[in-house]
């Protein structure tokens, strides 16, 4: 069953003449960072509420590889990618490098700034070596575009001795905003991918944007919640809410034109509360660089800490009280 995708309220912000395609998005970009194709550009271990309800450690390895071919309007992950395909065995080498320097964890995320099953990013010839590298983990989580969910996913799954989970970028089900993100995806293609993966015993999580371009704050909350409902209806087991950021050139231009404003941490609070109340799967909010979303420096840190604890416990916690509430 699909969630409600009715026309949005008339008060959302939309410039009918702006069209962002590959050419205009590329033209707005600053330079890429220098990266080494034999090394991951970052790696860390952090706690997460696992599917079993326990708080367990997750090793996240940010792999260096070729840039994603889908140039989404809001994306800045391309900053740490190469222009050429990395050599065979470069990805397993990166994984071994990171794991040798990280403390033990129960789960691992292999995030490659794009699509794990893009053969120009992760060579299929590396699948067996990658599977060997991550054999000790209970869950292996990768990210992928819905259009690239097919036989390669099954081939990699069959090499693993653990649970495969694929994170899919849904972003938003807003019927006018999603096409303008240049993601080259529809809600129908997302649903097909999620159902295909579920039918083949591959778990899924969805990335959902909070306040993408062209939406006001209240619509950002509304459509993030609608998008979560759609994702759960499609069989997704976990939703991760990403506050939309600038930093890629295009978003700065949209912000200057009044078509984008980053969401408030209060909106993150509202969406997480709504998601947890659904009781349909795990819901997380992304707290990386969360200081930029504070609208009050007195209570911002306490609000961030509350969200972190809600992420870990998957339970609603009492709201943070602050004098600034009188003005909101």
Mean pLDDT of 238-246: 97
Task: Give the residue among 67, 146, 143, 57 at the shortest CA–CA distance from 105.
Answer: 57
Is a pLDDT exceeding 90 seen at residue 205? Answer: yes
pLDDT digits (tens, 9 = 90+) for 287-302: 999 999 999 999 999 9
Tell me what percent of the chain is helix, strand and coil, each rounded to the nearest 5: 35, 15, 45
228 pLDDT above the threshold of 90: yes
Confidence of residue 327 (pLDDT cuts 50, 70, 90): low
Tell me, what's the pLDDT at 226?
A: 98
Q: Which CATH number is correct for 36-319, 3.40.50.1980, 3.20.20.70, 3.40.50.300, 3.40.50.410?
A: 3.20.20.70
Per-residue pLDDT at 18 = 66
Residue 304 pLDDT > 80, yes or no? Answer: yes
The pLDDT, as a whole number, for residue 7 is 39
For residue range 270-285, list pLDDT tens digits in order.
999 999 999 999 999 9
Q: Rounded to an integer, what distance in angstroms lies between the CA atom of residue 103 and that of residue 120?
A: 30
Beta-sheet strands, E only, within the chain: 42-49, 55-62, 107-111, 139-144, 163-171, 203-210, 238-243, 282-285
What's the whole-model pTM score?
0.93
Ranges of each domain in the chain: 36-319
Distance CA 219, CA 212 (A): 10
Interval 148-168 mean pLDDT: 98
**Arithmetic mean of pLDDT over the chain:** 93
Residue 315: pLDDT over 50: yes
Greatest Cα pair distance, the chain, in angstroms, is: 59
Which DSSP symbol is given to 321?
A: P
Partner residues linked to 207 by β-bridges? 169, 240
Task: Check whether 13 has a pLDDT greater than 70.
Answer: no
Q: What confidence score (pLDDT) does residue 12 get?
A: 40
> Residue 328 — pLDDT band, cuts 50, 70, 90?
low
Q: Going by C-beta distance under 8 Å and a sequence separation of 6 or more, which residues neighbour residue 15?
A: 214, 257, 259
> 15-20: long-range contacts (C-beta < 8 A, 24 or more apart)?
15/214, 15/257, 15/259, 18/180, 18/257, 18/259, 19/180, 20/73, 20/180, 20/182, 20/250
Q: Return the pLDDT at 19.
A: 83
């Amino acid at each position: 069953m699909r969630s409600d995708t009715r026309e949005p309220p008339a008060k959302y912000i939309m410039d009918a003449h702006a069209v962002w395609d590959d050419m205009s998005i590329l033209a707005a970009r600053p330079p890429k960072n220098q990266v080494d194709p034999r090394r991951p550009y970052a790696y860390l271990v952090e706690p997460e509420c696992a599917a079993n309800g326990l708080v367990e450690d997750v090793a996240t390895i940010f792999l260096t590889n070729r840039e994603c071919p889908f140039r989404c309007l809001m994306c800045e992950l391309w900053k740490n990618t190469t222009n050429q395909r990395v050599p065979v065995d470069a990805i397993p080498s990166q994984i071994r490098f990171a794991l040798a320097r990280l403390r033990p964890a129960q789960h691992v995320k292999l995030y490659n700034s794009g699509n794990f099953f893009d053969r120009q990013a992760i060579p299929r010839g590396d699948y067996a070596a990658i599977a060997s590298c991550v054999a000790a983990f209970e869950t292996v989580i990768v990210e992928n575009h819905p259009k690239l969910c097919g036989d390669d996913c099954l081939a990699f799954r069959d090499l693993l001795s653990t649970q495969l989970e694929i994170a899919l970028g849904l972003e938003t089900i807003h019927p006018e905003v999603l096409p303008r993100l240049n993601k080259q995806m529809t809600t129908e293609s997302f649903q097909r991918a999620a159902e295909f993966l579920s039918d083949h015993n591959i778990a899924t999580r969805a990335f959902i944007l909070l306040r993408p371009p062209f939406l006001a704050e209240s619509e950002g909350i509304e459509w993030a919640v609608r998008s979560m409902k759609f994702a759960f209806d499609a069989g997704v087991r976990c939703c991760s809410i990403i506050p939309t950021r600038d930093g890629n050139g295009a978003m700065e231009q949209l912000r200057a034109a009044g078509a984008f404003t980053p969401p408030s941490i209060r909106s993150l609070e509202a969406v997480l509360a709504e998601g947890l109340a659904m009781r349909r799967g795990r819901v997380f909010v992304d707290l990386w660089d969360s200081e930029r979303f504070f609208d009050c420096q007195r209570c911002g840190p306490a609000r961030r800490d509350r969200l972190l604890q809600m992420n870990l416990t998957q339970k609603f916690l009492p709201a943070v009280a602050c004098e600034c509430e009188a003005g909101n």
